[in-house]
Amino acid sequence: MKSFILLENMVFYAYHGVLPQEAKVGNEFVVNLKIEVDLAVAAQSDILDDTISYAAVYEEVKKQMAIPSRLLENVAYRIIQSLRREFTSIEHIEVKLSKRNPPMGAQIDYASVVLTD
């Protein structure tokens, strides 16, 4: 059986972007995670130590979002690497990182990148 932990629509105010104004003013970003992990033991035991804490995952994402980067790709990569270091039971990770209202002279809700590992 495949099993996943999803953390959806985590919103952060951060300072990622290539333009100097983005580093000064910041923007809202939305992070969606899909973590493949074996949840069979936790499903039967009902014990937190048998799974990955959603709160602990959130804190790792929050730490990485607080570090300014020029590219969304870099932030998403760092999120994956950080989660892999902290939670060795992770089999696969998908991160979607979206920037709201990117400054590109277009009517657009989000610019996003998706990285999987």
Give the tokens for residue 68.
Answer: 């300014």
Ramachandran quadrant class, 48 (left: phi over 0; alpha: psi -120 to 50; beta: rest): alpha
Is 99 part of the annotated catalytic residue set? yes
Q: How far apart are CA 101 and CA 22, in angstroms?
A: 11
β-partners of residue 4 are 36
* Residue positions annotated with a catalytic role: 99
